Chain A
């Protein structure tokens, strides 16, 4: 299909702007600061704009389109009431520098969301400021750094322990926070290898970063022993909340011994993923870390009003503009109020759905760790690759032809030909059955006519795309000139 720039015709436009009478002429701008060449933005009428982006949307697949079991991303239904609420003028047209007295509703909403997240995580204090999970991670690690610096252990505690199943954001955040990495292995049951761990935690260790349940979808059975090892060595424990959807109302990171948690509002609490964002990455902490939280803090004052507190002498500073992605808070707060204490049912359904799909598929695909799973699980196409030459990627592409979004593939890194499947609580049994039937049919196709997999997808707007060519021949914007031959979709 054409780019919007290829539909552009000089002289067309979608906008008409207000004209005010009797204004002074626009004052002159010094010549060297004045725009010399206009930007080549599209020139289209409004209906052409709407048709273009509507056509683009039809070439995209969301949770609204169908089943989206993308492991580790928690692609659940996004209630529409959230959108209506976030668009209310009292939220959407609120300026973030409005005086406290004119922002009581917004501040109360944030304070209430903080209280709910503290209860769900089992921790003492919450900052909503980080923009997404990875920024929450980095913020959490800076808190750890500030905590040890305040205790005079800043130069000594330089190491952060990360299991080999971790999301890539964890090691990247460790580097950005100025810590050093210590890797720890996974044992035969998919838990952290505690024997490997013991030798690696000492007075130089600042923290553990752990996702629990892990990216294998398994709850670490040794979490109590792990907690003793880290706290025994004077180190802290960081909980990557990417998989919080498994345990809401069932087990809380604070009760597991974690001192810092980030929460992905776009995963667990239904902020729509938006084709890649926005997200929200609040952090919850134990009281010992509260003095270091970002400013401003959203507080409830003695008179019952709500306010922003900038007077936190030990704060790490600001990590994002203003107080965070407020529109995301509106959506997650609404979602949480519609669940209330029934949040446990949400996690129970997510875990039940995952175990059901696992039970139906484990005879057909390799299962590296044969245990009950939590909200997601990891299969492997290793045998299929060896016997029929079809890979996890081929399975993923073929699933598209059956009308499903593929699972996460090739992650976690410790499982070869990994297929990471997270159904979420949203889906009905009929949907899960249809997906399992497709996965089983694809395994049969791999044995009988593997080329059907290797040539997949067959029923999408494009066939398989050449990523090597994109990386070598870098075209990252439209070329404009020379006048191009129109490319028909």
Chain B
């Protein structure tokens, strides 16, 4: 069941349609409802390896629907400590629950200061409206 549009206030956002849930020196990353909706039902997630480093503003993986493929952009830099195997097995989870069970990876932040530059939910909504 595809989720309804939402952008939770407790998350931080990147203008390339990615979100981060920051908890201490770790963050959980995923793609926003807007990105999931634009792609359509996901059929594949190509994840990074645990232990790899991801860099803010750069791609760390790919998500695919039947008709499109998209890089997933890291909103923050760090080392990958977990990959959501549930999404690898059932990629449509991202469409069903983009901010919950549909998370993609968890990283150990290398520069927690980067968080300050991310958007809050209101600012991200403005990004969407301007597109």
| B-binding residues in A (CB < 8 A) | 410, 467-468, 471-472
Interface readout for B53-71 with A: 1 if CB under 8 Å, 0 if not?
A: 0000000000011110000
What residues of B have a CB within 8 angstroms of the CB of A468 in the complex? 41, 43, 65-66
- CA distance in complex: A214, B91 (Å): 37
The distance from the CB of A408 to the nearest CB of chain B, in whole angstroms, is 14
User: How many residue-residue contacts, CB under 8 A, span A and B?
Assistant: 12
A and B contact pairs by CB, cutoff 8 A, 7 listed = A410-B67, A467-B66, A468-B41, A468-B65, A471-B64, A471-B66, A472-B91
Interface of B is mostly: loop
A472 to B40, CA, bound (A): 14
What residues on B are CB-neighbors of A410 within 8 Å? 67
Q: Which residues of B contact A467 (CB under 8 A)?
A: 66
Query: Which chain A residues lie closer than 8 Å to B44 at the CB level?
Result: 471
Q: Does the CB pair B43–A472 fall under 8 Å?
A: yes
Residue in A closest to B41 when the chains form the complex, CB atoms:
A468
Given contacts A410-B67, A472-B91, 10 further A-B contacts (CB under 8 A): A467-B66, A468-B41, A468-B43, A468-B65, A468-B66, A471-B43, A471-B44, A471-B64, A471-B66, A472-B43
| Residues 30-63 of B contacting A (Cβ, < 8 Å) | 41, 43-44
Kindly list the 10 A-B residue pairs having the minimum CB-CB distance in the complex, ordered from nearest.
A471-B43, A467-B66, A472-B43, A468-B41, A471-B66, A468-B66, A468-B43, A471-B44, A410-B67, A472-B91
Q: Closest Cβ of chain A: how far from B111's Cβ, in Å? A: 29
Once the chains are docked, how many angstroms separate the CA of A472 from the CA of B42?
9
Q: CA–CA, A467 to B64, complex, Å?
A: 13
Bound complex: CA A471 to CA B66 (Å): 7
A412 → B minimal CB distance (Å): 15
Closest-CB distance, B129 to chain A (whole angstroms): 17
User: A149–B41 Cα gap in the complex (Å)?
Assistant: 46
Closest-CB distance, B94 to chain A (whole angstroms): 13
Between B43, B44, B65, B67, the greatest number of chain A beta carbons within 10 A of the residue's beta carbon is seen for: B43
Report how far A471 CA is from B67 CA in the complex, Å.
10
- Minimum CB–CB distance for B66 against chain A, Å: 5
Name the CB-closest residue of B to A467. B66
Residues of A contacting B41 with CB < 8 Å? Answer: 468
Q: How near does chain B come to A60, taking the closest CB pair, in angstroms?
A: 22
Give min CB distance, B79 to chain A, whole Å.
Answer: 29
Q: Nearest Cβ distance between residue B32 and chain A, in whole angstroms? A: 20
CA distance A410 to B64 in the complex (A): 17
Report B51-99 residues with CB < 8 Å from chain A CB. Answer: 64-67, 91
